[in-house]
Structure 1
Amino acid sequence: MKSLWILLLILLFCLPVFAKTEFPDSLLIGNVKVFIHPSAKSILETEQKRLGSSKKFVESMKEKMRFYFPVMEPLLQSAGIPNEFKYLSVQESGLNPIAVSSSQAVGYWQFKSGTATDVGMKVNANVDERKHIIEATKGAANYFTRNNRVLNNWVGTLLSYRVGLGTAKKTSYVMDWVGKSDIQVDSSTDWYVLRFLAYQKFWADEFKKDDSLGIQPINQSKLICYDNSCGKNLYEIADELNVSYDDLKKYNPWILNDYVPSDKNYIIYHPSTVTFFDNSIQIPEILQPADFLLPPKKKLDNPQKE
């Protein structure tokens, strides 16, 4: 009987969480109202159904978002990037810092090394900032800001993240969107945009549902930071903070060797309930756009291309 109950609990946990509902007629992405043509709704609903097919997957991803979004949100906000764009990192990498695509794009926001360098990230033998949540988000903010100066539409800018600015400028409907606050997508719109709309709506609804039901995560880890790392090795930091070296290494894969370079005071991350960490800064100070938005250097391609 006990085994039967365990089996039932496992099955319940793995059941789909998505109840089929009709996709809304419009969504707001930043200052752009996106009207959904009926021909696109079945595509969006299918994508949402796929996302909600496993409760275990949904809960695991929400835990990651609760972990990383408090760091990403103030950086996007200070750069003037729509808050909804945080869900693009979920679409790109599943918030996995060591994710590597078939085209060798790496990290939270899936940049190839050349484009990462163009938007201000360091990628060398010692560090790979594509795997650092703050540095990678700054780089993504740079990319979005530069392209939006040209396209003047956040949904067009979103598409340029996949196809590059040059291709986006050759896409007729993207150029029709320039400067507009009301646009329409349909079944002919690039799959990347439609998938993003499905992701944004699905995950935002999941958090709204939790809030409305008063659901609080159990034993939710907090991503906390330690900013006195300049020139130190991870063994020193682990001893200083009385935490596990293995955990420091795991949650800071951007450090390619065992030491933090002395040319920059990087923030080290660790999920912990240790008192020292609880008393330290949990969210980076909100930066002003001028602090991390680079002046235009050269024409940028999409992050997945050199």
Structure 2
Amino acid sequence: MNTIKNIFTAIGILFLSGLFIYAIQKAPGEDQTKTNPNALNEKAVKDYNVYAITLPEQMDFAGEQVPLNNPDILERLDRELLVNTYWQSNGLLMFKRAAKYFPIIEPILKKNGIPEDFKYLAVIESGLSNVVSPAGATGVWQIMKATGRENGLEVNSNVDERYHLEMATEVACKYLQKAKDDLGTWTLAAAAYNAGNAGISRRLKEQGVKGYYDLLLGEETGRYLFRIVAVKEILNHPKKYGFNFKSEDLYASVPTYKVEVDTAVTDFSKFAKQFDINYKILKLHNPWLREPHLNNSSRKQYYIEIPKKGYYSVKP
């Protein structure tokens, strides 16, 4: 019995050893990444390519030509095209949000005689989101509190109409038209949206030049117009810059109707339920309502956007 037992033990050891040797020999062939940590990176490098960008022969902003024959201008525009092309996640978000918000912005620009290219200014200002800058600029158009109030917006802790896209776009149009009247070109008006009319006017006088592309400016304003032009180029030619999507991938607006309110509202949660939505959805469509109630001691007329039925439902 011991002899037979010893034979089977030996066979078992040889069998296990064979499996072990087979596993060692087979592992690299089956999955190089387990024994060669760089294999996965090498494969990724082969599958992913980064290309230099060929700039168009001509580019313009609001009908005003970009002087691409100037090597400094060429390099600065190339930088912004590269940054925005290879920041792919942000690029896709630009396309998705533009589909939702440009149809709101475009007719307001047209009505006010502002070139349509200024919709791209809103993209670089906020990414078409209701953000707040460290300086306090607020909303899609990044309007400062004083500028909003000077142009008729209500700005306080209860109501802040800088978050109201249509109203904020109207204010942006007023600002841009004044800047164009003061400075002479739409390109300088765009720069003034970032640095102020007085700031741009002062620099033009100090440096003895007449146009944006001849000005020496700080980092932010110096890049400003180039960022707008780059975003315009990419959003108008997605395939050229490697962005692939279907129309159904883009964000769509939810149809709404307006409800007039000329009294105080003590509880927007209860108010929302009258329209088969909740407070979150009410705020989503009316971000300018900053508190869960409306004071309205002056009995001002407000128009609250309510989504049409069927798009949202109140969950218990």
| TM-score (normalizing by structure 1) | 0.72
Distance (Å, rounded) in 2 between the aligned partners of 1:79 and 1:49 = 33
Partner of 1:230: 261
Q: 1:16 to 1:199 in 2, by over 3 A?
A: farther
Distance (Å, rounded) in 2 between the aligned partners of 1:230 and 1:19 = 55
Distance (Å, rounded) in 1 between the aligned partners of 2:54 and 2:157 = 49
Distance (Å, rounded) in 2 between the aligned partners of 1:251 and 1:16 = 40
Q: Which has more radius of gyration?
A: 2
Gaps of 5+ in 2: 1-39
Structure 1's consecutive aligned runs of 4 or more residues displaced over 6 angstroms after TM superposition are 15-18, 207-211
Could you report, residue by residue, the CA deviation over 1:26-49 in whole angstroms, capped at 9, with x for unpaired residues?
323223233222222222222222
Distance (Å, rounded) in 1 between the aligned partners of 2:55 and 2:238 = 14
Q: Is the 8 A contact 1:225 1:268 kept in 2?
A: yes
Q: Which amino acid aligns with 1:256?
A: R
Could you report, residue by residue, the CA deviation over 1:187-207 in whole angstroms, capped at 9, with x for unpaired residues?
956222222222222222228
Partner of 1:83: 116
Distance (Å, rounded) in 2 between the aligned partners of 1:187 and 1:204 = 28
Partner of 1:242: 276
Q: 1:96 to 1:134 in 2, by over 3 A?
A: same
Residue 214 of structure 1 deviates from its aligned partner by: 8.9
Distance (Å, rounded) in 2 between the aligned partners of 1:49 and 1:187 = 23
3-state DSSP of counterpart to 2:224: helix
- Please point out which of 61, 64, 75 is paired with 1:42: 75
Partner of 2:310: 274
Could you report, residue by residue, the CA deviation over 1:153-185 in whole angstroms, capped at 9, with x for unpaired residues?
1001011111111122123389624xxxxxx83
For these two proteins, the number of residue pairs brought into alignment is 258
- Please point out which of 115, 118, 126 is paired with 2:147: 115
Q: 1:83 to 1:238 in 2, by over 3 A?
A: same
Distance (Å, rounded) in 1 between the aligned partners of 2:250 and 2:80 = 30
Partner of 1:125: 157
Q: 1:17 to 1:48 in 2, by over 3 A?
A: farther
3-state DSSP of counterpart to 2:238: helix
Counterparts of 1:1-306 in structure 2 under 5 Å?
20-36=52-68, 37-97=70-130, 99-172=131-204, 176-177=210-211, 185=213, 188=216, 190-206=222-238, 215-218=246-249, 220-231=251-262, 234-259=268-293, 261=296, 262-268=299-305, 270=307, 274=310
Identity of aligned residues (%): 25
Higher relative contact order (CA 8 A, sep 6+): 1
Moved more, 238-247 or 151-160: 238-247
Could you report, residue by residue, the CA deviation over 1:124-155 in whole angstroms, capped at 9, with x for unpaired residues?
23211111111111110110111112222100
Distance (Å, rounded) in 2 between the aligned partners of 1:16 and 1:228 = 52
Distance (Å, rounded) in 1 between the aligned partners of 2:158 and 2:225 = 35
Partner of 2:23: none
Q: Which amino acid aligns with 1:274?
A: G
| TM-score (normalizing by structure 2) | 0.69
Q: Which amino acid aligns with 1:216?
A: S
Q: Which amino acid aligns with 1:137?
A: T
Q: Is the 8 A contact 1:18 1:49 kept in 2?
A: no
3-state DSSP of counterpart to 1:274: coil
